[in-house]
Chain A
């Protein structure tokens, strides 16, 4: 009994070893997969860093753990060979939108050796309604073209005016928005102005052009009580419906999550700070977690980096290949599968190859 157990463990460890050996260049070298489909763009790689939630304690003191997460992501991205073309920052640089936090975050991010495209998160926004961010960091919504791919950045964390006006002080508003499981919360949305802007921006883009949309909240509906949700998601999805290939990358949920809705593939980013549980672990209310997502492991709180990480994407002929770099855990590659018609985890998608659940809670 004991013996069988151990040799099975050994076997798993061994397959882990083999996998690691074959993954060797993937962390450091761009993957070449050749042409596929009707791509018109050059191959390139970009990296993702998201949700570091840098937290100011006082004076020059910040939560060490969260600083370490962001620093580790930055250092690892800098070691990629060849370098990614740019880094997308997925939002929630700050925990409570403070200038100290945003300044500190920009100082850390300045060590990146490639340009950064910024997406704003609710934690960066609700103290001063995005003013400092727009002054010092980036526009809230914009688009750019890169090697034949059209990128759109949306500010998806807007919400209803009467909720914004409900709070006495900016700090109170920020604190209420910062609580994920807040019964007094308010759903995110992109809003009519931005949707109009988006329509206009996409007007002259051919439907065959690969389109990548970057947002903080998921541009679909997963779980309202935690704001894994964008209220006007359907409207945005319909604006994007004319394109052959659309990929949405979003932050906010701090977990491995992917989905396909019609022509749109969705991928969530990891946080560098801490992981959120999957909504299904809250037994008191229903959720809409995508069935295809192979969950990530539960983390061991002793190891602060467990359950956190970063990602990079190989853009290759209109389709993306998402590399989840999961610290203290097995890396995952999820990419669009033509025959399945949705993103598929290259190793763990089939039920029989699922990652065994971690047993150290």
Chain B
């Protein structure tokens, strides 16, 4: 009676199976690329008020030499096709590790589709990039090098050639990783850059002194009212979470606020159909930064789950007053505009995250929230190691 499961497959079904297979392989492949995610973490104390311990992969322990090598690599403009772009170009150490531009400029002044997030406290994210397409700093650091609108290298070998030809690098790689020039690979470069970025943390803001340092005078009356709004009526706490003993102001999740989404919504059906039929999914780093349609799909471009349409990662709020403009596309120039966006319940669309809704804040309440956000600025920001 019973016929085996795959006994009757028509050609259409075969097509779908193939499609699923392709998706699956790409999915597996992208998981493999994130291999370092499987590494266990150890934690080292941050020693900074308001910050939790810093997670460090066991296979990439911190050392002073590695951090300073990472810092040098981070600032090296030779790792771009026209010699103009380093990591520090868009994540400027002297500007709270952002570039203050709407969307970043890469080689030949080419622009991408997304606002450069700060490196400050990026170590605490469980995924990197606005759509979380990399799981750690090591994985993140390699992608912009190859992106045609960022560093524009044709392959990581371009970078390795530069490193190998520079005696200072070869001797430092030798002392940090114990490897000869021939064995230097992009992963070593990524590990060094990530180690450097793990030192780019900042806390001890007036808010931290008030909340975790028991200094009741650290915040103004207005900022304290703002904090209460933040926890209650303004509904900030649920995503930009403040913990019991520390705060990194994130939930490690992705949300659709409707920002930028209306640009693609009328064509959404067409875009998704194209994506389902194309073999380039999950979407590549290059496509996300060069194709506005793919970019605005947000987290969906990584997962393919309809729930993730137009959803972007919750960013930290630490030093938020220093890192304008805001949102994944840099479309909001001031914090006032960001508060207004939330107050009106985001930009209405069918995939709007369900915690987002009109808040009915008064002018005074908005001003109080703003004072609170400004209290998240650290008095001292980390700088480049000498």
* Interface positions of A (Cβ within 8 A of B): 2-3, 6-7, 10, 13-14, 17-18, 20-25, 27-38, 43, 64-65, 68, 71-72, 74-76, 78-79, 81, 302-306, 325, 327-328, 331, 338
Contacts and interface: CB of A to CB of B under 8 A. Distances in A.
A24 B355 contact: no
Interface of B: 1-3, 5-9, 12-14, 16-17, 19-20, 23-24, 26-28, 30-31, 37-38, 40-43, 55, 126, 235, 238, 268-269, 272-273, 276, 281-282, 303-307, 350-355, 357
A35 B7 contact: yes
Given A38-B1, A68-B352, A302-B238, A23 B8 contact: no
A33 B276 contact: no
A21 B31 contact: yes
A328 B269 contact: no
A34 B7 contact: yes
Nearest to B252: A13
A7 B58 CA distance: 12
B179 to A, nearest CB: 28
A6 B52 CA distance: 13
B357 A64 contact: yes
B16 A29 contact: yes
B304 A43 contact: no
Q: Which interface residue of A7, A303, A338 has the most chain B CB atoms within 10 A?
A: A303
Given A20-B303, A28-B304, A34-B9, A3 B43 contact: yes
Given A14-B38, A21-B31, A24-B305, A72 B235 contact: no
A26 to B, nearest CB: 8
Contacts of A29: 16, 19-20, 276
Given A21-B27, A302-B235, 9 more contacts: A28-B304, A32-B9, A37-B1, A37-B2, A43-B13, A75-B350, A76-B350, A79-B268, A81-B273
Given A71-B350, A79-B269, A338-B2, A13 B126 contact: yes
A3 B16 CA distance: 42
A71 B265 CA distance: 14
B355 A303 contact: yes
B305 A27 contact: yes
A339 to B, nearest CB: 10
Nearest to A360: B238
Contacts of A17: 31, 303
A216 to B, nearest CB: 25
A302 B355 contact: yes
B354 A68 contact: yes
B23 A22 contact: yes
A29 B276 CA distance: 7
Contacts of A65: 354, 357
B306 A18 contact: no
Contacts of B8: 34-35
Nearest to A20: B303
A212 to B, nearest CB: 21
Name the 3 nearest CB pairs between A and B, nearest first.
Answer: A21-B27, A35-B8, A24-B304
Given A22-B24, A328-B307, A28 B37 contact: no
A21 B30 contact: yes
B272 A33 contact: no
Contacts of B37: 10, 14
Contacts of A2: 43
A7 B40 contact: yes
B24 to A, nearest CB: 5
A130 B176 CA distance: 78
B306 A79 contact: yes
